[in-house]
């Protein structure tokens, strides 16, 4: 059943410069402070060669072009970019943003997810998604979206794993790097978020390292009783 709007007010725009987590913290993108680490994480020798396959930009062969891209992102208010900082090392290891921001309807999206290899398949990537989802609903949004290229298997799997509901495909949605892009849509709505948040929080409270216990998935954590 749709949420009552009797007391609802338009959402606030993203404005929080630092969001703290257990494994990572999110900082408003600052190319001067984060640029060297991001260049190493995203374009360095240990970078993920598939990282840019489904992005509308990249890869960047020259640092000057990469810095120009970072500067443009930092100046933007929609998308509103965050850098992901590893708490243990203090290194910037990835980026993501809040975007498609429509406060009057309470709608927002997590996008431009660009994680370096040290973040991938780790608690850090899950926590980054959780922190931005939590921030999105704290701002008063009613709907959080996740969209991706329908051919991007990794992003589609991630959306399902993080608790988003599949909503359908926009066929021939756009042209990206000279190729057709069909876009798959997912969402979490405000009435669903408390239960999903509980799953995230239980999962992140575990020691999610290779030696940890039996419970590994968000779904298993959501099924736990207190």
User: What's the chain's average pLDDT?
Assistant: 91
Q: Which residues lie below 8 Å from residue 98, measured CB to CB, with a gap of 6+? A: 14, 79, 80, 82, 108, 109, 110, 132, 135, 136
Do 155 and 113 touch, CB atoms closer than 8 A?
A: yes
pLDDT digits (tens, 9 = 90+) for 46-97: 889 899 999 999 999 999 999 999 999 999 999 999 999 999 999 999 999 9
Strand, helix or coil for residue 126: helix
CATH 3.40.630.30 fits 18-223, yes or no: yes
Residue 6: asked if its preceding bond is cis (omega within 30°), the reply is no
Domain locations along the chain: 18-223
Nearest one of 165, 102, 167, 110 to 135, comparing CA atoms: 110
């Amino acid at each position: 059943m749709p949420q009552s709007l009797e007391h609802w007010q338009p959402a606030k725009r993203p404005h929080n410069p630092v969001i703290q987590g257990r494994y990572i913290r999110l900082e408003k993108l600052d190319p001067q402070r984060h640029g060297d680490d991001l260049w190493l994480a995203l374009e360095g020798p240990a970078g993920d060669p598939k990282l840019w396959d489904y992005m509308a930009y990249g890869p960047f062969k020259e640092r000057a072009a990469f810095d120009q891209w970072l500067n443009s992102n930092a100046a933007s208010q929609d998308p509103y970019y965050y850098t992901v900082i590893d708490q243990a090392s203090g290194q910037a290891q990835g980026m993501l943003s809040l975007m498609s921001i429509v406060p009057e309807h309470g709608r927002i999206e997590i996008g431009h997810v660009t994680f370096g290899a040290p973040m991938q398949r780790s608690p850090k990537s899950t926590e980054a998604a959780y922190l931005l989802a939590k921030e999105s609903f704290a701002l008063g949004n009613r709907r959080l979206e996740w969209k991706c290229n329908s051919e991007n298997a990794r992003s589609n799997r991630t959306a399902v794993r993080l608790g988003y509901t599949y909503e359908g495909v926009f066929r021939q949605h756009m042209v990206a790097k000279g190729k057709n892009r069909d876009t798959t849509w997912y969402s979490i709505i405000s009435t669903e978020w408390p239960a999903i948040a509980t799953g995230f929080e239980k999962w992140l409270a575990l020691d999610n390292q290779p030696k940890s216990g039996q419970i590994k998935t968000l779904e298993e954590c959501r099924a736990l009783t207190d």
